[in-house]
Amino acid sequence: MKTQITEKIQIPEGVSCSLEDGVIKCSKSGVELSRNLKIPRVEVKTEGREIVFNCERGNKIQLKSIRANLAHLRNMFLGLEKKYVYSLESCNVHFPMILKVEKDKLIINNFLGEKVPRTAVILPNVEVQIKGAKIAVSSHDREAAGQTAANFEKATIVRNRDRRVFQDGIYITEKPGREL
């Protein structure tokens, strides 16, 4: 069933937003985040202190896309206020891992006794702090912080061995809003 879909989101006080060619840029006190809001057959515009999504003849696919983008915008507005922090922990049984940050990469040496170091990509505008076995990943952009944490976890996947015995790796222990 094709119906008219209109969804709105308020722009918080102190946040300035500009919309150009489907890309929204929001900034507050020196922090700037941007996101692509191009959705097929959906018109996005700013009206005063609101961002309006409008679809003349939309179905549930457009509604899902609009609501997903509204959630992303809420995360952007919260990210302008404070940083999203992911906590990770490196676990090893026999071979101690050596973690080191170099520019935009995390270098993992001596993982399971391997001679060749493993690397994980750190996305732009993400800060990584290593204190012993604890790793803190923080950023104003929730997606960048989450993807960086996932890159660390993925870099230490154990293959061709029994996971019950070889439990070494880097694991996410805390996400923004909940503890695992």
Per-residue pLDDT of 76-100, as tens digits, reads 999 999 999 999 999 998 899 999 9
Residues of the chain with CATH 3.90.930.12: 3-81, 84-179
Domain boundaries 3-81, corresponding CATH code? 3.90.930.12
Specify the 3-state DSSP secondary structure of 3.
Answer: strand
Q: Which residues contact 86 (CB under 8 A, 6 or more apart)?
A: 136, 137, 138, 145, 146, 148, 149, 172, 174, 175, 176
Q: Is the pLDDT of residue 7 over 80?
A: yes
Q: For residue 164, what pLDDT is reported?
A: 87
Which CATH number among 3.40.630.10, 3.90.930.12, 3.20.20.70, 1.10.1060.10 corresponds to the domain 84-179? 3.90.930.12
**How far is it, in rounded angstroms, from Cα 11 to Cα 62?**
22
Confidence (pTM): 0.90
